[in-house]
Amino acid sequence: MSAPSWHLSVKRADFAKALRSVGRAGKDVLSATAVLTFDQNRLAIDLSGNVTQIPASGDWPSEVRLPGENLELLARSLPEEDPLPLKVEGERLFVASFSIPCEWRLYSRAVSTPVSELIPANADLFDLLMMVARCSKEEIDTAGASALVSNAQLKLDHMCTKAAGFLGAYGVSPLHLRRLCEEHAAEGTRQFRESDAKAIVQIAQAWCILAPMGVDPMEIKALMDNCLRNAWK
């Protein structure tokens, strides 16, 4: 018995532009699952809320899923045929003669998910953990973000283990620190982003010297921000 197959036809320029558009998502977001759907005249590529649509014709499963990083591979290896034939057969997505692994589904679960709205294009670890606190596993899976969440949780475990290494003499464990981080994510409260890494180091170094004088890290940050604003005046 032959494997079922589905076929679409798209303009090469449209498909190449769509892949570039979705590929501009943040590096961490590329570990999410890309979801390709078809509504009888348009092919949509959704990577954790980074969505682009192009005209297409043919037939398609309810969903075709593939790792987000494979979109970059596909963009670099896009065949020259125009229009481009897309085919799903077995567990592979064929673009002309080029193919990559995929998963297809014959239904889309009727789950309304806020995941895409909660993950910005430049999402960092805190953004992802905040989304986990607000969405169910089914909502996360529907949005193709399961792998993204798994990677985020592994990263948090590594960070907490490393941080606990400085505090072990006080009985502070990685689990204590993980719970602390998850509480902040659930509340959506933080003062710094991962992109503030350089400033965080500078503030920490200054605070190590000034802490005995009652100075708080956020006071140093506020002073830095004020001085920067005044420098632009």
Q: What is the domain-level CATH number for residue 65? A: 3.10.150.10
Same domain, 18 and 36: yes
Listing DSSP states for 51-108 in one string gives EEEEE-EE---SEEEEETHHHHHHHHT----SSEEEEEETTEEEETTEEEE-EEES--
Number of helices (H) and strands (E), helices first, in the chain? Answer: 9, 10
- How far is it, in rounded angstroms, from Cα 16 to Cα 68? 15
Same domain, 16 and 68: yes
Strand-pair partners of 63: 105
Same domain, 181 and 232: no
Same domain, 180 and 208: no
Q: Could you tell me the pTM of the whole model?
A: 0.69
Q: What is the pLDDT of residue 164?
A: 94
Q: What is the pLDDT of residue 27?
A: 64
- Residue numbers of the domain that contains 216: 196-233
Same domain, 89 and 165: no
Same domain, 57 and 132: no
Q: What is the pLDDT of residue 17?
A: 92
Q: How many domains does the chain have?
A: 3
Same domain, 182 and 205: no
96 in the Ramachandran plot: left (φ > 0), alpha (ψ -120 to 50) or beta?
A: left
Same domain, 56 and 101: yes
Q: What is the pLDDT of residue 174?
A: 95
pLDDT, averaged per 10 consecutive residues of the chain (233 residues), comes to 84 92 68 87 86 92 88 87 92 92 76 69 85 86 84 94 92 95 92 90 94 93 88 69
Looking at this protein, which amino acid is placed at residue 136?
A: S
Same domain, 26 and 99: yes
Residues in the chain: 233
Same domain, 26 and 92: yes
Q: What is the pLDDT of residue 25?
A: 63
Q: What is the pLDDT of residue 109?
A: 53
